[in-house]
Chain A
Amino acid sequence: MTSEQVIAELIVPGRAGSLRLIRALLREAAMAHGADPDWTHDLVLAVDEACQNVIRHGYHGKMVSGDIHVQVSSDSAGLVIRVSDDAAGVGPEGPTPLPLDPSRPGGLGLHLMRSLTNECQWETPRAGRRNTLRLRKVFKPTGPEATDSGTRSDAENSSSGENRK
């Protein structure tokens, strides 16, 4: 098991206006690790969707307010992002998966979170929080044999789902 080192943390109000700041932090963290623009875009989008899910379905949808805590860590092969919040718990299994219907809005956020990262799971919440989602994205290999392994294929992501209620 590779050890993780925390490189940045951000606690922001759980509202849409905070997403820009979260994206800026992630871009800086990815650039500091030499990630390319495509890899960085995908990580930023996955985490943005996770935070958006908290805002839309955890806080705003329940008419409550709270913080979002974003922790960025690095390990030997990639970045690990933990998104914690105080909204009603979703449990370790996460939201209920539903098939993605490309012609209708909804369900896309979770699909993006899962398809743009290598690991996506809810874990035991960090102290003082009700939910913690862990996302991990592996850096692309470099050199002549490099392939786009920083993102899981559709075949590895047959389940997609509905946003948290």
Chain B
Amino acid sequence: MTVSIGERGSIQVVVLAGEIDLQNSGEVRDAVLRCLQRKRPVVVDMGGITYIDSSGVASLVEGFQVARTMGMAFILAAVSPAAMRVLRLARLDRVFVIVADLDAAVESADR
């Protein structure tokens, strides 16, 4: 699994790729929360995720909750089929803001 943080203008983009499980989901949580501490909108690029378990989903839920408390945009972008299946099973596809395209997600977060 890889986690990288980039910037698109004022938007922070967390790029996740590979398999997210109990061993590395803490890195996802740390990256997301670190971005939110900067008090700028966050887009999570999930296009490269090949596997995610409940601990990975929980990291995203925590980010979502913190962002909501701060009144900050928190958008999941380009969600891979494997990740979308888990979000649907968890009934979170209607909780998160999910945008199919990364550019559109960044644009939406910038509003």
Measuring CB to CB, which residues of chain A are less than 8 angstroms from any residue of chain B? 16-17, 19-20, 23, 38, 41-42, 44-45, 48-49, 52, 55-56, 100, 102-106, 108-109, 111-112, 115-116
Contacts and interface: CB of A to CB of B under 8 A. Distances in A.
Contact of B90 (A38, A48, A111): A111
A19 B89 contact: no
Contact of A49 (B54, B61, B91, B94): B54
Contacts of A103: 61, 65, 95
Contacts, number: 65
Interface string B37-64: 0000000000000010111011001100
Contact of A48 (B53, B85, B94): B53
19 contacts: A17-B23, A19-B21, A19-B23, A20-B23, A38-B85, A41-B82, A52-B21, A52-B54, A56-B22, A100-B91, A102-B95, A105-B54, A108-B54, A108-B90, A109-B54, A111-B90, A112-B86, A112-B89, A112-B90
